[in-house]
Amino acid sequence: MSRKPGPAAAAGESPAPRLRPKVLAIVLNYNGREMTLATVASLLALDYPELGILVVDNGSTDGSDAAVAAAFPAVRRLRTAENLGISGGLNLGFRVGLAEGWDFLMPMNNDIEVAPDLLRELVAAAADDPTIGCAGPKCFYFFGDRNRIWSAGGTLRFRESVTRERGMGELDRGRFDRDGEVDYVNGALMLIRREAMLATGLWDPVYHVSVEDADWCVRMKRAGFRCWYAHRARLWHMVSPTTGGYTAGRTFRTGRSTAIFVRKYAGLAGWAGFLFWTAVAIPAALLRELPRRNAAAVVAKFRGVLAGLRAPLPDPPEA
């Protein structure tokens, strides 16, 4: 809820303390009961009091919704009858947050452990600069060496994939210890300014899985806002245990989403890069996956690209 400054303090009086922005965390879950419980527990340990939590259960069949209700009766829940995809599920939460007047919305995966000061650091980076439409943290791998970076903001390029996480796989030795503008921040967790969401619109449900976060950041920038990386904010990500690894289902969806993104935003040079690198990458992936008896995943990637090139592109929903 946006706040106007109150009357000026009388001479000699200390100014009233500035109210902290109110943040609604929107946790999206699909059949990840135990991970979701751990993620909510992590959020409840944040040192930021102006926080609300909404768990959107995206058509789960594993008892997730009942488990959250039993473990955290004060946490709000919203349940769908079917899986609406990442954008469709989060958009339900966005509509709730906008209707209720929250200052910031924080969409996030259900496989996250946050540092206790994560939200305080994100708000500190974004709250006083109205040009920052969204901010994202430094993300680490949850498993293995917990000082290994998974994402320090992202860059966009038109190749066989369109997103690239900065620092992925590197040990954190300070190379990304500077805040700054990035092409996008990963949708594993981002802090979104209310005004940016209203100006940009909701996330585009044409993407079933993958690239929906980068797409929204591109649209947000076109609406006049900046995308910000806040290095002091930290989280640990379990890295897609829900959506799986290099499987036929996942590669189809990522191939489709990539092709849709290219259709929406690539110029001539972007199209050339996408077509060239796709022609190189798919045969290379086939050579890699044949000995693993996983050629079906490569074929699915190609089918996904074709599907994305033919998919209808309706306008994204307004906020």
Same domain? 224 vs 257: no
Model pLDDT, residue 244 = 54
- Nearest 5 degrees, angle CA 214-CA 216-CA 222? 105
Query: How many whole angstroms separate alpha carbon 148 and alpha carbon 140?
Result: 6
Residues linked to residue 107 through DSSP beta bridges, in sequence order: 26
Encoded tokens for 3? 């706040």
Is 16 domain-assigned? no
Are 259 and 135 contained in the same domain? no
- Of the candidates 218, 237, 256, which is a domain's last residue? 237
Residues of the domain holding 281: 248-309
Considering the domain architecture, whether residues 85 and 215 belong to the same structural domain is answered as yes
Residue 45 lies in a domain: yes
> Are 77 and 40 a contacting pair, CB within 8 Å?
no
For residue 5, being part of any structural domain is answered with: no
59 C-beta neighbours (distance < 10 Å), count: 17
| Of the residues 186, 216, 237, the one at which a domain ends | 237
Residues 78 and 166 reside in one and the same domain: yes
Task: List, in sequence order, every residue forming a beta bridge with 76; answer none if it has no partner.
Answer: 54
Contact 29, 36 (CB under 8 A): yes
- State the pLDDT at residue 208: 84
Residues (pLDDT < 50) of the chain are 1-17, 243
> Measured between alpha carbons, how far is 285 from 99 in angstroms, rounded to an integer?
46
Q: Choose the final residue of a domain: 202, 218, 237.
A: 237
If asked whether residues 171 and 252 sit together in one domain, one would say: no
pLDDT tens column, 207-246: 988 999 999 999 999 999 999 999 999 999 998 555 457 8
Distance CA 83, CA 208 (A): 10
Task: Tell me: do 94 and 179 sit in the same domain.
Answer: yes
Is 14 inside a domain boundary?
Answer: no
Provide the pLDDT for residue 273.
Answer: 97
Total domain count for the chain?
Answer: 2
Domain containing residue 191: CATH number: 3.90.550.60
Within this chain, do residues 45 and 152 fall inside the same structural domain, yes or no?
Answer: yes
Nearest residue to 137 (alpha-carbon basis) of 168, 156, 155, 115: 115
Q: What is the pTM of this model?
A: 0.91
Cα 138 from Cα 311, distance rounded (Å): 34
For tokens 């902290």, the residue is 20
Asked if the structure places residue 272 within a domain, the reply is yes
Report the C-alpha gap between 150 and 168 in whole angstroms: 4
Calculate the dihedral angle through the C-alpha atoms of 204, 205, 208, 213, rounding to the nearest 10 degrees: 30
Q: Is residue 220 domain-resident?
A: yes
Is the distance from CB of 206 to CB of 79 less than 8 angstroms? no
178 and 40 within one domain = yes
- The verdict on residue 252 lying in a domain is yes
pLDDT at site 4: 34
Distance CA 27, CA 44 (A): 12
- For residue 179, CA distances in Å to 135, 152, 166 come to 10, 10, 13
Identify the pLDDT of residue 121: 98
Question: Is residue 221 situated within a structural domain?
Answer: yes
The answer on 268 and 136 residing in a single domain is no
Are 133 and 40 within one domain?
A: yes
Residues 84 and 184 in one domain: yes
Q: Does one domain contain both 222 and 258? A: no
Residue 162: CA count within 13 A, CB half-sphere: 29
